[in-house]
Structure 1
Amino acid sequence: MTYKTKIKLSEYHKEIEIEYVEHQFSPTDNTGLNIYDQYKISILLSDGLMVVTDDSVIRTETGDFLIFRPDEQHFGRILGAEEHRFLNIFIPTDYFEKFYLNTDKIQSMLTHINEPNCIRCHTETKEQLYQKLTPVVNLLKESDCNDTIEFYIKILDIILLLEDMYSNNTGRIIKSNIPDCVSKTLNYISNNFYKKISLKTLAEYSFCSITYLSKMFKDNMGCTVYEYLTDYRINYSKKLLKEGKSVTEVCYECGFGDCSHFIRVFKEITGMTPHCYKKTG
């Protein structure tokens, strides 16, 4: 079940979207690669999720929060058969530029340049975060929060607490713990997905054999290198289509090299052709 609402502070501000998700996943499921045109903050309210970003894999736990820029593709791999719960906050990239007050620290957290995506709270801070999250989740589930200044203040209060943990190091920054060849492969794909990429190229870049790389990637990511690369390209192609680029332009900019192949793969993954997807835009 997903509960959503949007908040618009004034005619000069874009909307912030709040999304609370409760969903029963099966082991080895994944959430699909995601990329947005906004900042995304995800606060995890359950265990059993492994988060994959452009060049790292993070084993998360309850109370962790993650930050994603618009350029960061990511997905969650499910590790256990249980209900998974998380709260997402989507913030337009220029949102805090409209404030006269100093919001530099919030911007620094949202952009997190050269910093990991995941912050792990200390026990005391985690309890404080839960206290602020509980009424927000309840209001979302009751559909009783649209267009209220009280709800906006609660969301801003959560963002400020997260910013405080981030900037004052009251939360521990969690780095990835995966085989080097997997990390190198993720990094190579994120920087070169528009080129022709072979397993041989990736194995040479990672200083290992094709067999070893294929096994390590599948064991850690839950999918093959080819499946990940294809999903990455298709997900990025959605972004370019929404920006108004032609199907032919998108095909070559995403590394497919052949339009008929691109259209066929796009439809297999999304259920519609690139032309139809662009019209929904």
Structure 2
Amino acid sequence: MNHLKKGEFYGQTNQTIHLDGLTLTDTVYTQPKVDWHYHEHAYFTFILEGNVIEGNKKEVYHCPAGTLLFHHWQDAHYNIKPEGFTRGFHVEIEKSWVDGLFLKADNIQGNMNLSDPALKLLMYKIFTETKIQDPTSPLSIQGLLLDVLSQMAEGRQSLLHKNPSWVATINEILNDQFADNLTLGFLSETLSIHPVHLSRDFSKYFHCTFGEYIRKLKVQKSLSLLSDKRKQLTDIAFECGFADQSHFIRCFKQINGMNPSAYRKILFG
């Protein structure tokens, strides 16, 4: 089985950034199939464009643009790339970096397909910082990555404490139907929970309001769609459930600190 060293990925690497204990790469996948292999360090894979299939000993993931995966140290997996252009962003984390910050590595074990929109939005910000590359970018990248790892650890602790079953159900509903005009009444009836309790307890488990969470889902979806050069901003706004393009731009800028056109320029260089 192939063992890939730091900074090594199958394909054409466009950019590599080395920080203290971190390696960030922007790679175009060129091989239709990559057999079983593992990497020296734990790392995130964030699909920026196209799609890829990844399998490990437990699961197979179909990964379109916007997919965020985490791979623990030396976990074996394989990849299949369908036809078309596929590009991935990777953040490798050396164990010394984790230990130096007194983080608990056992909180982030295993291969994971991360669906939390907050984590994906943080990863988009990390990617953006690699393209800005001003003197504050290294500090910003490390701070954003710490936020990602901290939220992952909190999510794992929540699973260990067994959240109520409705938490997973409502998360599935919101992720599937965020572009629809959902109402508190509909959600309350679907989950058989009183609207007052649902509204109050949602913030407890999701750490934000209904509106904030749905906006994150919409913006997260728009970021993946912006990788398709054929799509106009008006089309993306409609597909993501925004009332119009101006609302889309305003919400996007509020969350990402830039407008969609500026992000698209960063994405395509």
TM score, norm. by length of structure 2: 0.49
User: If you compute each CA radius of gyration, which structure gives the higher value, 1 or 2?
Assistant: 1
Higher relative contact order (CA 8 A, sep 6+): 1
TM score, norm. by length of structure 1: 0.47
